[in-house]
Structure 1
Amino acid sequence: MPSQDDQPTCAYSPDDCCALSQVPSKGLGLVATKHIPRSSTILSEPPLLVFPSVPTADTMKQLYAGLSPSNRKAFASFQPSGENDDLLVDIAKTNGIILSSNTEEKGIPQAMGGAGRKPVKMAVFEWASRVNHSCVPNAIWRWDKTEEKLILSAWRDIPPGSEITASYFDRTSDWLVAPQHARDAELRTSFSFSCLCDACVQPGITRATSNAALRHYRALRELWSFDDDDGEEFASDRYLTWAADLPVALAVLATAKQILEEQQKWEEIGLVITATFAVYCVRGKASAARKAAREAMAQDSIQMGPGMARFWDEWTHKTRHHGLWNTGRFYV
């Protein structure tokens, strides 16, 4: 890793905690220059160039011409994939991050360069677009529509000298908790590379154990997750019967959370904590529900921003008003 003096200062890092550096087998990446505590903001960055999610050569030419000379130089410094005939389109699609509004997607950007939920626009960022993918990322990004900035936050403590990574997978998909071979196929199809993160290059036996653990997690998740067009997955008799048996439900959720922690699937843990909160509401356990709400607030505020922190803070005070409150008494 280059010395601190050789690394460019990042004006978008509130704590001046990161720098661009060559990463073995990956090229340029973002590296921590000091200890970064969990939940810290690593980057708060405005876009370099915003463009339609399906850019044309003419559109990109006009947008590129409108950039300042320094921003044109920064945009042109990105590597194309070679899969698009037009260079500007290729750079944009290869390095773009899909933007989504706080109200529509709760501040969550979709997959980097991949298919999302009918995205309207994308953007290339001078620093955030240098963040490499990992299936066990130590950071997460979200689009703050109000500030018009991409916020990159630490999922966990990041030691100095460590590469800062994020997941390129669409968070509305299941790719992050899919087996390694399936993740690799999706990355090669959508992003034209194979992942070299710790989870993907581990020995075959270890990788097989990891795949089995993730399959077990997805099977457990079916117990509290149900497809429902109205989004009311907790309304079915099947769910309420399961949730009403509190010791069994809590054991399932504890096992699921343990798997995710061991597999470092931080983005999925919030779902388990939310399900735990709901189970306590079903059984009318106010104190435990408030504790789960506080845990969800700490988790989801990293992933979704201050809006979700306010959402969960409200539930720490009004758990008895939840629609599931004490419904389990009819199923015991």
Structure 2
Amino acid sequence: MKVLRFVIAVAVSSCSVSASKVQQLRSVPGICTVISNSRPTWPICATNLRDDDGSSIGGVQDHSENQSDRHGHDTGTKFGLPYEKPADYSNDDPSCTGHLDHIDDKLCVYIHPAFEKGRGISAFTTPSIAREFEKRISAIARERDGRRNASGTLSEITMHPSLEVTALSNKGMGVVATSLIPAGTRLLHSSPVLLVHNIESPRAFEREFHLRTAVAKLPPATRDAFNNLAKSYNNPAVHAQDIIKTNAFAIDVSSVQHLAVFPEASRFNHDCAPNAMYYLDNIGLTHTLHATREIAEGEEVTVSYVDPISPAWFRKSELLQAFGFTCSCHRCANAEEDDALLAEAKLLEAELGDWESDTSDTDSWAYTQKAKRLIELYQTLKLEGFINTAYGHAALTYNSLGDSGKATMYARKALEAAKLRHGPAELGSRAVTVWEEFLEEGAWAHWSWNRRRED
């Protein structure tokens, strides 16, 4: 994962952070707090509020409502900082930065207000990527128009009717099930409202201007949805950057990573034993969330902001550094037991995945007990969203012993679990296609067939 070097200089007066964050960040010396994982956002330094050239951002002067920027576009003010007014904006003459030497290009604001039947989407990216992005937007619109004509669906934005966004004690906003939801149910399918080139861009002051411009161009309801999302630092001088930092997912546009804000997806809180799992479609520009186990009425729907298969100390450290809260979920509250189970699972995975060592003195069928135990551990840890790994080991284990029936059964389970985690085969994840190939070609055609069987 490419590390984002996008520094926002911010004076931090409080470390309180709403739990409705969906990214993982790390601390790297010299780069402040930077992102990692598939849901990145921008680093913010706990320093005095200074722009990149050292000038103060805290004491920003007011700007008149009739002021023009250097491109001649009308500007207004928000939180004491300027942004471009939405009226009469044209993608043919966008608001842009100056030339940025490190990318040999500039970044400009582009708006597509008709996207998703008037929901709209803004992009802050290079002109060349914007041209490709416009082609993609048109292709997506044509595809969805065809589906709409067939099904009557007006939009790709769908949230399960048994989900309710509500205020939660000590968590801010969150999502709760209003009735029982079966495992595998699609909970959310949505598109982004803002895409931002994931590259070190201009000074914080200028960045904020262009990002507010991008948001100001959005239709009113969409703009409000963005502005109402959670923030980490609650500093009005970097309002737009703070929201992006706290809520962005990583998505590729023209093979270049961009930060994408999906307002609906940002409402799901963290748990180290999540009951939901999402995947992103870079081509269709969508975020899709499924239930990974049965969700009871009144239960909160959660995702994991960090790698839930990592030790408790690491998860808690990541969450504290990135979001300012100490995780108190069941797994973290029972860290010693949790770590012991994780260690056992990793040992079993290593043993089951060792196809080179001499196993002549090992009871072949002992491997089946290890495979069953691995599945049990994932279920005990409530990591159903990641259980495709355990099912995969079981499929290969039974296949290596010549039991095609059970090998096929577990291969199907691995495939279904992998789809919830990585999306359908069309998205190209090898974790999905490997099991489709296994099932299509047959267990006996796989390299693992009879590999561990005793003659």
Q: TM-score, normalised by structure 1?
A: 0.76
Match runs of 1:25-104 below 5 Å = 25-54=170-199, 56=201, 57=204, 58=207, 59-82=210-233, 86-99=238-251
Q: Kindly provide the amino acid, as one letter, of the partner of residue 257 in structure 1.
A: I
Question: 181, 184, 198: which one pairs with 2:330?
Answer: 198
The CA deviation at 1:126 is: 1.6
Unaligned runs of 5+ in 1: 1-9, 105-118, 170-174, 226-233
The CA deviation at 1:263 is: 1.2
Q: Kindly provide the amino acid, as one letter, of the partner of residue 313 in structure 2.
A: H
Q: Which residue of 2 aligns with 1:321?
A: 445
Q: Distance in 1 between matches of 2:220 and 2:200?
A: 21
Match runs of 1:163-312 below 5 Å = 163-169=300-306, 175-200=307-332, 202=333, 206-225=334-353, 236-238=355-357, 241=359, 245-307=363-425, 312=435
Q: Distance in 2 between matches of 1:289 and 1:224?
A: 14
Q: Kindly provide the amino acid, as one letter, of the partner of residue 221 in structure 1.
A: E
Evaluate the alpha carbon distance shift between residue 257 and residue 62 of structure 1 in structure 2; reply closer, same or farther with a 3 A threshold.
same
For the Cα contact (< 8 Å) 1:281–1:289, is it kept in 2?
yes
Residue deviations 1:182-236, cap 9 Å, x none?
2101111233322232322x3xxx44222222222222222234xxxxxxxx6x5
Evaluate the alpha carbon distance shift between residue 15 and residue 70 of structure 1 in structure 2; reply closer, same or farther with a 3 A threshold.
closer
Q: Does 1:126 align with 2:257?
A: no
Q: Kindly provide the amino acid, as one letter, of the partner of residue 96 in structure 1.
A: A
SS at match of 2:387: helix
SS at match of 1:20: strand
Q: Kindly provide the amino acid, as one letter, of the partner of residue 77 in structure 1.
A: N
Q: Distance in 2 between matches of 1:283 and 1:92?
A: 51
For the Cα contact (< 8 Å) 2:279–2:421, is it kept in 1?
yes
SS at match of 1:177: coil
SS at match of 1:44: strand
Evaluate the alpha carbon distance shift between residue 268 and residue 62 of structure 1 in structure 2; reply closer, same or farther with a 3 A threshold.
same
For the Cα contact (< 8 Å) 1:81–1:91, is it kept in 2?
yes
For the Cα contact (< 8 Å) 1:55–1:89, is it kept in 2?
no
SS at match of 1:264: coil
Q: Kindly provide the amino acid, as one letter, of the partner of residue 195 in structure 1.
A: C
Unaligned runs of 5+ in 2: 1-154, 426-430
Residue deviations 1:125-180, cap 9 Å, x none?
121111111101010111123432111100111112211100112xxxxx312332
300-309 vs 283-292, which deviates more?
300-309
SS at match of 2:452: helix
Q: Distance in 1 between matches of 2:263 and 2:168?
A: 17
Q: Distance in 1 between matches of 2:393 and 2:156?
A: 39
For the Cα contact (< 8 Å) 2:368–2:398, is it kept in 1?
no
Q: Distance in 2 between matches of 1:326 and 1:316?
A: 16
Q: Kindly provide the amino acid, as one letter, of the partner of residue 76 in structure 1.
A: N
Q: Kindly provide the amino acid, as one letter, of the partner of residue 192 in structure 1.
A: G
Q: Distance in 1 between matches of 2:343 and 2:249?
A: 29
For the Cα contact (< 8 Å) 1:244–1:282, is it kept in 2?
no
The CA deviation at 1:72 is: 1.8
Q: Distance in 1 between matches of 2:222 and 2:437?
A: 43
Q: Which residue of 2 aligns with 1:162?
A: 299
The CA deviation at 1:31 is: 1.3
Question: 268, 274, 277: which one pairs with 1:137?
Answer: 274
Q: Which has the larger share of helix?
A: 1
The CA deviation at 1:286 is: 1.8
Evaluate the alpha carbon distance shift between residue 220 and residue 182 of structure 1 in structure 2; reply closer, same or farther with a 3 A threshold.
same
Q: Distance in 1 between matches of 2:294 and 2:223?
A: 35
Q: Kindly provide the amino acid, as one letter, of the partner of residue 60 in structure 1.
A: L
14-23 vs 280-289, which deviates more?
280-289
Q: Kindly provide the amino acid, as one letter, of the partner of residue 75 in structure 1.
A: F
Q: Which has the larger share of strand?
A: 2
The CA deviation at 1:94 is: 0.9
48-57 vs 152-161, which deviates more?
48-57
Q: Does 1:150 align with 2:278?
A: no
Q: Distance in 1 between matches of 2:232 and 2:180?
A: 33
The CA deviation at 1:27 is: 0.5
Q: Distance in 2 between matches of 1:193 and 1:289?
A: 43
Q: Kindly provide the amino acid, as one letter, of the partner of residue 327 in structure 1.
A: R
Q: TM-score, normalised by structure 2?
A: 0.57
SS at match of 2:409: helix
Evaluate the alpha carbon distance shift between residue 242 and residue 12 of structure 1 in structure 2; reply closer, same or farther with a 3 A threshold.
farther
For the Cα contact (< 8 Å) 1:39–1:156, is it kept in 2?
yes
Q: Kindly provide the amino acid, as one letter, of the partner of residue 34 in structure 1.
A: S
Question: 142, 147, 163: which one pairs with 1:18?
Answer: 163
The CA deviation at 1:297 is: 2.3
For the Cα contact (< 8 Å) 1:39–1:302, is it kept in 2?
yes
Moved over 6 A (4+): none
Evaluate the alpha carbon distance shift between residue 146 and residue 310 of structure 1 in structure 2; reply closer, same or farther with a 3 A threshold.
same
Larger Rg: 2
Q: Kindly provide the amino acid, as one letter, of the partner of residue 349 in structure 2.
A: R
Q: Distance in 2 between matches of 1:249 and 1:46?
A: 44
